[in-house]
Amino acid sequence: MPKECKKALKSLEVGAGSGRLSRFLAERGYRTTCLDFSPQALKLAKKYYDAANLIGEFIEGEAGDMPFYDGEFDVVFSTGLLEHFEDPMPIIFEMVRVLRIGGLFYSDIVPKKFGSFVKKLKWSR
């Protein structure tokens, strides 16, 4: 994470899955929130947090309609999420909505034309 993140206190991982990246921030003192559509993923994330003796918040919800206040987070990020949506812009707008002014936003997106290539790499390991 860039140096700017070190000043941030509250982070949100959208489409958190196992919460791996949020755990990285929690280990460095951030107050982390993991949002995911899947209750099973959040259960796994909490299990990993508990095993590492970390505290986090785990929220089941939709990336396009998050149950958070405007500007609630210092850092909002996602990885491996947006390429699963036909139109990711409403999700990006929602992520920016919950980000404080001057906060840090990060998201990656795998173009659809590379999707099958990425799946081959993932499963061939």
Tell me the longest C-alpha to C-alpha distance in the chain: 42
DSSP for 74-104 reads: EEEEESS-GGGSS--HHHHHHHHHTEEEEEE
Per-residue pLDDT of the chain (125 residues; tens, 9 = 90+): 555 555 548 999 999 999 999 999 999 999 999 999 999 999 999 999 999 999 999 999 999 999 999 999 999 999 988 887 888 899 999 999 999 999 999 998 766 665 544 444 444 44
Q: Does domain 3-123 have CATH number 1.20.58.60?
A: no
Confidence at residue 3, expressed as pLDDT on a 0 to 100 scale = 56
Looking at the DSSP bridge assignments, the partners of residue 77 are 13, 106
Phi, psi of 122 (to 5 degrees): -60, -45
Confidence at residue 112, expressed as pLDDT on a 0 to 100 scale = 64
Confidence at residue 7, expressed as pLDDT on a 0 to 100 scale = 53
Confidence at residue 123, expressed as pLDDT on a 0 to 100 scale = 42
Confidence at residue 75, expressed as pLDDT on a 0 to 100 scale = 96
Cα–Cα dist 88/9, whole Å: 27
